[in-house]
Structure 1
């Protein structure tokens, strides 16, 4: 409701005639409205703007006001003929966006495991432990198929972790506030309201904390994804680096490249097996999101 009221205030500020147009639509509250019924009260441009902003929504063969009460609030509230002076978007408390001790612990573990890429003892330790679980899979399939299977598995749990650990409402609230500030800033510039522009700049500085909140929300599932994925990646690296892959399994045909060994650099210094893993992971992750109807970004 606050968001619709803000949209109404913005539209009226841009086009004062929109106030009369909205009042005429309010007279038909609860009824299905068609363009031919109201074309004498508002222009086709105003009609299109109301649909574009979501103030009018489809209802059968016509349209109706999505939220009549919010439209009234926007018309009656202060600032209907000028720039609204503050954001109507409710933001989550800082306490709600803080990481738990488990999140922080997982972040430390993930950072520690990165040492395995450059420190052989750590890489060998992780590789030997993971080989207990992944060794049977390697004995059944060629190594390029092992990489593909692991890419599917990591893509599946990555998608599930993002969907369950990232609060879409909070992300949406942060994005909504930034959009609200940008709209009010544009409106103030058009009206030449320097005093309001200064207030909005101060609000933008205060809103820098929102960027930190968004980063924390986005990075929280990434920490857990890394905790589970780094050992898998280290195992593949260990298998290739230590020569545990047979010569026959070291070669495969890559799209657009042709035949190449898994350790050959095909995109600059990036080795072929890494490129193959990420291609499989990104592709199957999209299929999993669509198949399970999982949303990993705020609507």
Structure 2
């Protein structure tokens, strides 16, 4: 279990003395099982309790057993990563130069919604590729095609840039801490509560790492989607009145409406139509490609 390996690394990273404790338990485990009387000369009761709290030791037939001896041994053998486990996690989830560049450009592109010179530049540039499509098909069909394309690359970017396994580990770790805190509170173990409180403070860094993992693909999705959205914004005549109108569309419960008519508060019809198509086709694409971007534990 990769999760057990990470738990051992966390223990050793928090307290270097736990490395010798884990090695002692490994050496004296008989068929994977070990009793407190076997190690009490070298392991304190607090250290023994931490192994149990972390799930490295679980109930056995005649005492306690190692949840996964091989994963535990592997964690100790990788000494360089054991000592710097949290730093490595930060490096793994840190953004590359390309990611940061895409984030800056995405923010710049968003200015096109309020600054007409930039909107016109992007609109005209995108119209070179999308204009012929718009000439050949009705505008509602063009929006549907764009929704399929944006849904496809959004799904692929999320699947490839977001580490769902790591996010699952973050969530599992937080859930484990909450469960141990509840158990310690019920039995009135103030010493364990203090340790768990320290772990919760350290886990704040994990929450930031989880946020970075979630937002990384969103940067690239915005970078690719904002120009498409700006083209639609420009094409319906909001950005460039000379570009003309594309008639009307029939919507359920509303009947025939114009593209710029407000339908949900200030939100106009063309925006609603795009997001309805995008959400629907995205779900179909995920099912068709069997892509699940929800966090997964190990």
Pair in the same fold by TM > 0.5: yes
Give how far 1:112 is off. Answer: 0.4
* Residues 250 and 261, structure 1, Cα contact 8 Å, conserved in 2: yes
Does 2:161 align with 1:165? yes
Task: Choose from 226, 251, 254 the match for 1:230.
Answer: 226
Deviation track 1:219-240 (CA, whole Å, cap 9, x = no partner) reads: 1000001110000000000111
Does 2:270 align with 1:273? yes
CA distance in 1, matches of 2:278, 2:116: 26
In the other structure, the counterpart of 1:113 is 109
The list of structure 1 runs, each at least 4 consecutive aligned residues, that deviate by more than 6 angstroms after superposition, is none
Deviation track 1:209-264 (CA, whole Å, cap 9, x = no partner) reads: 111101110010000011100000000001111235654x3311112322211111
Deviation track 1:98-130 (CA, whole Å, cap 9, x = no partner) reads: 100000000000000000000000000000000
In the other structure, the counterpart of 2:91 is 95
* Residues 58 and 64, structure 2, Cα contact 8 Å, conserved in 1: no
Superposed, 1:42-57 pairs within 5 Å as: none
Report the secondary structure of 2:166's partner residue. helix
- Give the direction of change, closer, same or farther, for the CA distance of 1:244–1:256 in structure 2 (3 Å limit): farther
Is there any run of 5+ residues in structure 2 with no aligned partner, and where?
6-56, 67-84
- Give the direction of change, closer, same or farther, for the CA distance of 1:285–1:223 in structure 2 (3 Å limit): same
Does 2:219 align with 1:194? no
Does 2:203 align with 1:207? yes
Report the secondary structure of 1:162's partner residue. helix
Report the aligned-residue RMSD. 2.4
Report the secondary structure of 1:259's partner residue. strand
* Residues 3 and 169, structure 2, Cα contact 8 Å, conserved in 1: no
In the other structure, the counterpart of 2:257 is 260
* TM-score for both structures, normalised by structure 1: 0.70
CA distance in 1, matches of 2:191, 2:220: 46
* Residues 59 and 65, structure 2, Cα contact 8 Å, conserved in 1: no
Give how far 1:289 is off. Answer: 0.3
Report the secondary structure of 2:294's partner residue. coil
- Give the direction of change, closer, same or farther, for the CA distance of 1:221–1:2 in structure 2 (3 Å limit): closer
Task: Choose from 263, 281, 285 the match for 2:282.
Answer: 285
CA distance in 1, matches of 2:283, 2:63: 43
* Residues 58 and 65, structure 2, Cα contact 8 Å, conserved in 1: no
Report the secondary structure of 1:298's partner residue. coil
Give how far 1:74 is off. Answer: 11
In the other structure, the counterpart of 1:142 is 138
Give how far 1:77 is off. Answer: 5.4
CA distance in 1, matches of 2:161, 2:62: 35
Report the secondary structure of 2:241's partner residue. coil
Q: When the two structures are aligned, how many residues end up with a matched partner?
A: 224
